[in-house]
Amino acid sequence: MKSILFTGGGSAGHVTVNLALIPKFIADGWKVDYIGSVDGIERRLIESLDGVAYHPIATGKLRRYMDWRNVKDPFKVVRGVMQAYRLIRKLKPNVVFSKGGFVSVPVVLGARLNKTPILIHESDLTPGLANRIAMPFATGICTTFPETSQYIKAGGTEVRHVGAVIREEIRQGAAQLGRAFCKLDASKPVLLIMGGSLGARAINAAVRSALPELTRRFYVVHLCGKGGLESNIDNPSYRQYEYVQEQLPDMLAMTDIVVTRAGSNSIYEFLSLQLPMLLIPLSKKQSRGDQLLNAASFKDAGYAEVLEEEALNAASLVANVSKLYDERHTYRYTMRRHSQQDALNAVHKWIGDIAKP
């Protein structure tokens, strides 16, 4: 029996592609293992699947800023590499698929030491630090955005632009079920707010102060991230959830327009459903600036409007949302012309091709 080892974590964005691929390998009869962190979001998402063995390892974050944890974390990274090496020697996977995030670095190093072929996937327009560290050890690198290859120093490693890997179920939702879950009728259009898988305090605050205005025209369904619920709101046109999993496709099916961070998986999912988007990317102060580039690329293509976080307040949010809704048909028309590559099957096939016999 062939076996595959997945890794990736830290945020849902580093797990989504794995969630799309895992059922295909299970259906092919492969043994599927996953190495993730002890307490990252990947643990809950992967452990809820049948047929996957989850192996937690120690992880440390490579920070570019001063933090007392910088002293302890290199030791955790070394421990993680040793744990990953031993696990891979025991599991003997035919191939490793790495989605990035800090937990993936020890796994890629461990796989390389065990001479296991490695395929890396990059979701963002510019590669994240973990993937950049891992790339020299990979057999192949998949990219989502067409622009990404110019940011990769690949040496001899093959880079393929495969497009966005999207979970099959994302396009299989039913609006009626979404409305039943949220207890909403069809009398108003639905505005979905998604602050990224980890939520977004600035977006949550702006949405809540704009609620009286927004709910005059829309039902507002707010995915506000862990710990982001606000109990003191009494508005019959407002629904809030920390994070939804199996209900998301139904909620997307009932949605008319979206306000979102510019995490690559989310925005490609919205593009595949032709949902007009207002993007509020994480700023350079809060990140390496990857979402600003993702957002600029979508704006240039005519798929989205961008509101920078510095300009975000209740008034700018209401104005931008109204404009987006009024122009929704133009956005949908442009998005319809985007030809969605079959990335899921392309990556599935490439993994099979490089796996050790």
| Binding-site annotation: residue ranges for UDP-N-acetyl-alpha-D-glucosamine | 11-13, 167, 197, 291
Q: Which residues pair with 141 in a beta bridge?
A: 120, 159
Q: What is the CA radius of gyration of the chain?
A: 20
If binding is defined by CB under 6 A, does position 263 make contact with ligand UD1? yes
Q: What are phi and psi of 219, to 5 degrees?
A: -80, 135
In whole angstroms, give the CA distance from residue 43 to residue 102. 14
If binding is defined by CB under 6 A, does position 126 make contact with ligand UD1? no
Task: Pick one of 194, 278, 293, 318: the residue that binds ligand UD1 (CB under 6 A).
Answer: 194
In whole angstroms, give the CA distance from residue 119 to residue 6. 10
If binding is defined by CB under 6 A, does position 248 make contact with ligand UD1? yes
Task: Pick one of 244, 314, 346, 354: the residue that binds ligand UD1 (CB under 6 A).
Answer: 244
**Which 198-217 positions form the footprint of ligand UD1 (CB under 6 A)?**
198
**Which segment (88-96, 256-264, 315-323, 327-335) binds ligand UD1 by CB under 6 A?**
256-264
Question: Does an H or E element contain 282, and which?
Answer: none
If binding is defined by CB under 6 A, does position 33 make contact with ligand UD1? no
Helix, strand, or coil here: 306? strand
Determine the residue type at 218.
F
If binding is defined by CB under 6 A, does position 255 make contact with ligand UD1? no
If binding is defined by CB under 6 A, does position 8 make contact with ligand UD1? no
Q: For residue 3, with 0-12 CB atoms within 10 Å meaning exposed, 13-18 middle and 19 or more buried, which class applies? A: middle
Feature table: binding site: 11-13, 167, 197, 291
In whole angstroms, give the CA distance from residue 124 to residue 277. 17
Query: For the chain, how are helix, strand and coil distributed in percent, rounded to 5?
Result: 45, 15, 40
**Which segment (22-30, 150-158, 194-202, 214-222) binds ligand UD1 by CB under 6 A?**
194-202
If binding is defined by CB under 6 A, does position 245 make contact with ligand UD1? yes
Task: Pick one of 11, 104, 116, 297: the residue that binds ligand UD1 (CB under 6 A).
Answer: 11
Chain contacts with ligand UD1 (rule: CB under 6 A): 11-14, 16, 123-124, 194, 196-198, 223, 243-245, 248, 261, 263-266, 269, 282, 287, 290-291, 294
